[in-house]
Amino acid sequence: MSGAVTKPVNDIKRGDIMDDRDHELLTIGEAADVVRCPIATLRYWRHLGIGPCSFRVGRRVLYRRGDIETWIAAQREATRSDIA
């Protein structure tokens, strides 16, 4: 037996399990579909440094679905605090 310690299934909390969807990698076109904006807008936001977190793998710009959802939530909160 290895020295690894495992938790019984009933002791695992929701936060202990990483949601695979959060780590799903999206192309810029797929990210634009999620945000519902043109690809050119995502490119412009990337240039300005104000859009969702992105990174390059070779020549490709990729986004993690979880980062996009976090960015959308932050935009929503910023808008709500502007109104209040």
Above 50 in pLDDT, residue 16?
Answer: no
What is the DSSP track for 36-72? Answer: TS-HHHHHHHHHHT-SS-EEEETTEEEEEHHHHHHHH
- Kindly state whether residue 50 falls inside one of the protein's structural domains: yes
Cα–chain center distance at 37: 16
* Confidence (pLDDT) at 21: 82
- Kindly state whether residue 12 falls inside one of the protein's structural domains: no
Averaged pLDDT for residues 29-34: 98
Query: What CATH number does residue 51 fall under?
Result: 1.10.1660.10
* Confidence (pLDDT) at 12: 47
Above 90 in pLDDT, residue 35?
Answer: yes
Specify the number of domains making up the chain. Answer: 1
* Confidence (pLDDT) at 83: 66
More confident residue, 11 or 59: 59
